[in-house]
Chains A and B, each alone.
Chain A
Amino acid sequence: MSDFFTVAIITATLASGIRLAVPFLLAALGEAVGQRAGVLNLGVEGVMLIGAFAAYYTALETGSAAFGLLMGLVVGMVMGLVYALITVVMHAEQGISGIGIYLFGLGFTDLLFQKQVGTPRPIRGLQTRPLDWLAEDTGRAGELLFSHTVLTYMAFLLVPVVYWLITRTTFGLNVRAVGENPHAADTLGVSVNGIRTAAIVFGNTMAGLAGAALALEIGIFQQNLTAGRGFIAIALVYFGAWRPVGVMTGALLFGIVSSTVLRLQVEGVISGSVASIANMAPAVLTVIVLVVVSRRIGQPAALTRPFTRDG
């Protein structure tokens, strides 16, 4: 038991927490942009599953994890166009149509997996570690910060990028405008549906990428691989109050909680049944956070409202 609290294990646990935070971070950043534009995408979980399968299958067939990642991104983009068609053009209720996307993703990826792969075969994840050379001489801190793959750095680099995109560009201003007051934005000549479509496609592309990152991290695909991570990512957007840095904080918190539970179980500190209780922690935490956040911070005023000129 006392073995758990060595510096080596704590460092390794934190490092794996950072890796586990990546899918949360990618999906939640994308969802945050979509929600800022007034569109709630509850289909994140389904798109993550589709992205995960695309990445897994591509990596399995071609042997290239990078190519798998690209395929995850592409299918996410395609799903974004579909979702934009459903919500922006057809004005479908966003919450329920997202559940439709989830069911589709859950069933479709299970179908493809059973039909195309059958028995689970592991794949090799990303191996490119651009800062590895720094890790050699910097000890524990180096292992914690510099031992990650290129994808991890990319994900965290996207935090300032998305922040800049939302707060410092015309596109970001338009996103916020159509999320808060689409009619005013429309009066000023902003294409509400165009901006929303762009935000949705961005969000879903990120969700596809998040699924791909997850599949490459775990190195395997199975039915319901994401196990609720996409839904937690949506909650993280509320947790982070629609701000990229807040979203990142939440993603890191959830990643580290997950890696700690996993490590405790692997080290035999806690049994399987206690691990089940510990695995509830992120969901319980989310509910508590939602209670605290919901009264304090206002969501984008036009969230979930389809836009029509006459009403």
Chain B
Amino acid sequence: MSRYVRPFAGLAVPAGAVIAALVVGAILLGAFGANPLTGYRALFTGAFGGPDELAATALKSIPLMLVGVGICIAFRAGVINIGGEGQIIMGAILATLVALAVPDVPRPILVPTVIIAGGVGGGIWGAIPGALKAYSGVNEILSTIMMNIIAGFFMSFLLEDWLIEPGAIRIQQTKRLSQNADLPILAGGTRLHLGILVAVIVAVLGYLLLFRSSLGMRLRAVGHNPHASRAAGMQVELSITQALALSGACAGIAGAVLVFGSESHRLIGEGGPLAFTQSAGFNGIVTALFGGLHPLFTVLSSYLFGGMLAGGISLQRAVQVPQALVLALNGVVVVFVVGSLKLRTRVQRWAEGDVQMEDRA
């Protein structure tokens, strides 16, 4: 019997985490007087019910994939990057500045340019806390959070002053950016744009980097055991800085995609930084953890969580429970996934035929 169960045992725990989160969600829905089944059916239909829904889900999943791949790189190198929010914003700002500076460059050149600019902006914003950790021993969790706050205020400074759309209405947004920077629509009839391809390509590159390159090998070695890596002659400080810079670059690309793939084709700060980033800097951590810190699995898990975000709107419409529920449930998923790591190790040990567990079973 256990021969057939064992290969799937490792999957049991993350699946259990989602089921547990859905149970918590059902209890909350019930507490608000809504029928959990109706709610979840609306959520599922809104996420995966047809071509339009699948496209909407893909759109929501793009920033999650990009941030998530970055989180894979950082966490594998032993660096906890909580700065996705700030890195998205700085990527978006640099990409916007480039589009404002050279609006007339032809589209086939400008589109890749603004995406790369996003990567550079986010990369710089990641490299700073990376270098501070590597060379000054500053706790990266705290510094990346502070970098988020700084980036948020920087964006509102720019949008209240230098970059605000000229005119009477003082809304925190830029003018409509150059049409040459618009991300091309991939599927006619939907809003699905080039961003999804960019995200998947970045994920594949992230996979190749982590598991098929010497740089990736060094990053993972440093994450696994910095002391041994140093003894083996690796530059631990440089690796830590590289990991956070690369991680930030992925998030920065998400920032560029959020600007040039949006319906309004502007950088909008109205409603605060969380409204612009859609909390992807945090939710990307969820999808990366759920994807087992593997870039390709992170693409899949991001699509699932993108579905939760897209379906959250239908859920709100069907049972009048605000879609903020989805964010709350994401938090529960994180807690269950990291809380069950000890359990997962035990299950895997059992799956690999650990004698002690076998005896007990």
A contact set with B: CB distance below 8 Å: 42, 46, 86, 90-93, 95-97, 99-108, 110-111, 114-115, 223-224, 228, 231-232, 234-235, 238, 271-274, 276-277, 279-280, 282-284, 286-287, 290-291, 294-295
| Contact pick for B322, options A103, A106, A111, CB 8 Å | A111
Which 9 A-B residue pairs are closest in the complex by CB-CB distance?
A104-B331, A107-B327, A100-B334, A107-B328, A103-B331, A273-B161, A276-B157, A100-B335, A110-B324
Chain A residues near B132 (CB, 8 Å)? 287, 290-291
Q: Chain B's nearest CB lies how many Å from the CB of A97?
A: 5
CB-based nearest A residue for B343: A90
Supposing A276-B157, A280-B153 touch, asked if A90 and B80 sit within 8 A by C-beta, the answer is: no
User: B328 and A231: CB pair below 8 A?
Assistant: no
Inter-chain pairs besides A97-B338, A100-B333, A103-B283, 8 sampled, C-beta below 8 Å: A103-B286, A108-B328, A273-B160, A277-B157, A287-B132, A290-B146, A291-B132, A294-B136
User: A294 and B138: CB pair below 8 A?
Assistant: yes
- The CA-CA distance from A100 to B330 in the complex, in Å, is 7
Chain B residues near A228 (CB, 8 Å)? 145, 148-149
User: B145 and A231: CB pair below 8 A?
Assistant: yes
Flag whether B326 is at the interface (Cβ < 8 A).
Answer: yes
Chain B residues near A271 (CB, 8 Å)? 160-161
Q: Chain B's nearest CB lies how many Å from the CB of A59?
A: 22
User: A280 and B154: CB pair below 8 A?
Assistant: yes
CB-based nearest A residue for B154: A280
User: A111 and B324: CB pair below 8 A?
Assistant: yes
User: B274 and A224: CB pair below 8 A?
Assistant: yes
Flag whether B285 is at the interface (Cβ < 8 A).
Answer: yes
CB-based nearest A residue for B326: A107
- The CA-CA distance from A92 to B160 in the complex, in Å, is 42
Supposing A276-B160, A283-B146, A284-B150 touch, asked if A46 and B138 sit within 8 A by C-beta, the answer is: no
- The CA-CA distance from A185 to B274 in the complex, in Å, is 44
Chain A residues near B348 (CB, 8 Å)? none
Flag whether B141 is at the interface (Cβ < 8 A).
Answer: yes
Chain A residues near B335 (CB, 8 Å)? 86, 92, 97, 100-101, 104
User: B139 and A96: CB pair below 8 A?
Assistant: no
User: In B337-356, which residues have CB < 8 Å from any A CB?
Assistant: 338-343
Question: Could you write out 13 A-B pairs with CB less than 8 Å apart?
Answer: A97-B338, A100-B332, A103-B282, A106-B328, A108-B324, A111-B325, A111-B328, A235-B145, A273-B161, A276-B153, A276-B157, A279-B153, A290-B146
User: In B113-168, which residues have CB < 8 Å from any A CB?
Assistant: 132, 136-139, 141-143, 145-150, 153-154, 156-157, 160-161
User: In B305-335, which residues have CB < 8 Å from any A CB?
Assistant: 321-322, 324-335
Supposing A42-B141, A279-B153 touch, asked if A96 and B80 sit within 8 A by C-beta, the answer is: yes
Q: Chain A's nearest CB lies how many Å from the CB of B247?
A: 15
CB-based nearest A residue for B145: A231
Chain A residues near B8 (CB, 8 Å)? none
CB-based nearest A residue for B161: A273
**Count of B interface residues, CB-CB < 8 Å:** 52
User: B153 and A104: CB pair below 8 A?
Assistant: no
- The CA-CA distance from A106 to B276 in the complex, in Å, is 16
Chain A residues near B283 (CB, 8 Å)? 103
Q: Chain B's nearest CB lies how many Å from the CB of A288?
A: 10
- The CA-CA distance from A184 to B104 in the complex, in Å, is 69
CB-based nearest B residue for A282: B149
- The CA-CA distance from A307 to B103 in the complex, in Å, is 58
- The CA-CA distance from A102 to B28 in the complex, in Å, is 18
Chain B residues near A102 (CB, 8 Å)? 282, 331
- The CA-CA distance from A282 to B145 in the complex, in Å, is 12
Provide the main secondary structure of the chain A interface: helix
User: A290 and B143: CB pair below 8 A?
Assistant: yes
User: B327 and A110: CB pair below 8 A?
Assistant: yes
- The CA-CA distance from A232 to B143 in the complex, in Å, is 10
Q: Chain B's nearest CB lies how many Å from the CB of A242?
A: 13
User: A103 and B327: CB pair below 8 A?
Assistant: yes
Chain A residues near B330 (CB, 8 Å)? 103, 107
* Residue of A86, A102, A274, A283 with most chain B CB atoms under a 10 A cut-off: A283
| Contact pick for A280, options B138, B141, B150, B333, CB 8 Å | B150
* Residue of B146, B154, B325, B343 with most chain A CB atoms under a 10 A cut-off: B146
Chain B residues near A274 (CB, 8 Å)? 157
| Contact pick for A96, options B145, B154, B289, CB 8 Å | B289
User: In B186-233, which residues have CB < 8 Å from any A CB?
Assistant: none
User: A92 and B341: CB pair below 8 A?
Assistant: yes
- The CA-CA distance from A148 to B334 in the complex, in Å, is 40
User: A100 and B342: CB pair below 8 A?
Assistant: no
Chain A residues near B145 (CB, 8 Å)? 228, 231, 235
Supposing A100-B331, A101-B335 touch, asked if A231 and B142 sit within 8 A by C-beta, the answer is: yes
Flag whether B82 is at the interface (Cβ < 8 A).
Answer: yes
Q: Chain B's nearest CB lies how many Å from the CB of A274?
A: 8
Chain A residues near B331 (CB, 8 Å)? 46, 100-108
Chain B residues near A104 (CB, 8 Å)? 328, 331-332, 335
- The CA-CA distance from A235 to B283 in the complex, in Å, is 23
- The CA-CA distance from A86 to B137 in the complex, in Å, is 27
Flag whether B272 is at the interface (Cβ < 8 A).
Answer: yes
- The CA-CA distance from A235 to B149 in the complex, in Å, is 13
Chain B residues near A111 (CB, 8 Å)? 28, 321-322, 324-325, 328
User: B321 and A115: CB pair below 8 A?
Assistant: yes
- The CA-CA distance from A48 to B330 in the complex, in Å, is 18
Supposing A103-B330, A107-B326 touch, asked if A90 and B282 sit within 8 A by C-beta, the answer is: no
Chain A residues near B272 (CB, 8 Å)? 224
User: B153 and A277: CB pair below 8 A?
Assistant: yes
